[in-house]
Amino acid sequence: MHAWMEDRLSDDIVAEQRKVEEAELIIFQFPMYWFSVPAIMKGWMDRVLAQGFAFSLDKMYNNGIFKDKKAMLAFSTGASQTMFQPDGVNGDINVSLWPLQVLAPQIFWGPAHCPAQVIVEKVSGSQIVDIDKRKYLVPSDITVAQFMWIIRKRIQMPSEKAIYLFVDKTVPQSSITMGQLYEKEKDEDGFLYVAYSGENTFGF
């Protein structure tokens, strides 16, 4: 941060930052390594997307400096579909991607082994066609209670232990759907922020 504020960054990093500022869309393409990006890309992110330039303590996430820019991840897993199922050795790939996702992902398993026509059909029916249309990762018709059950199962929380879901520090009705909760509690940018706890009170 201090190097950025004092204009002491190396020329190659400054050049990369200019590219970020000028880009309307940034595509990160990489093979997934241990549920994350490769070391060389992690190094690029740490150096180029530096504090002060890409974010600050009061400007991050949905209030970030580059919140109006678009970014896309295109990556390979090097694993089969069964390995990224909820009961697979790597766990549900949607859970692995939660920290990175806004739109629902397009997942295509084994493209190198598929006929060209299958690939064309897959892309033609993909979310890429409607990339600006928001798609939700949680089905809008499930209830809050069902969503809590999904969380409980994912974190392997014993059934005898209580779990509470919070939206804006309050506990929503368990019978309403996630779609209803979203329409009622979404923020100005269209996001719904939830937290869960083993206690029936929530605070910071």
Taking residues 81-95, what's their average pLDDT?
A: 84
Look up the CATH number of domain 144-197.
3.10.20.90
- The Cβ of residue 165 has, within 10 Å, a number of other Cβ atoms equal to 19
* Domain residue limits, the chain: 2-130, 144-197
- The Cβ of residue 181 has, within 10 Å, a number of other Cβ atoms equal to 21
Per the prediction, the chain carries an average pLDDT of 79
Most trustworthy range by pLDDT among 116-120, 154-158, 161-165, 173-177: 173-177
pLDDT per position as a tens digit, 1-58: 667 777 788 899 999 999 999 888 888 988 888 888 899 999 999 999 988 888 888 8
Between residues 191 and 24, the one the model is more confident about:
24
pTM for the model: 0.51
Taking a C-beta distance cutoff of 8 angstroms, is the pair 176, 141 a contact? Answer: no
The contacts of residue 118 (CB under 8 Å, 6+ apart) are: none
Percent with pLDDT over 70 in the chain: 80
Taking a C-beta distance cutoff of 8 angstroms, is the pair 146, 138 a contact? Answer: no
Q: Which two tokens stand for residue 65?
A: 């400096």
Specify the CATH architecture of the domain 2-130.
Answer: 3-Layer(aba) Sandwich (3.40)
On the question of pLDDT at 182 being above 50, the answer is yes
Q: Helices 144-154 and 178-185, interaxial angle, to 10°?
A: 100
pLDDT per position as a tens digit, 107-137: 777 777 777 777 677 666 655 555 555 555 6
Between residues 165 and 38, the one the model is more confident about:
38
What pLDDT does residue 204 have? 39
On the question of pLDDT at 101 being above 70, the answer is no
Asked if the domains 2-130 and 144-197 are classified in one and the same CATH topology, the answer is: no
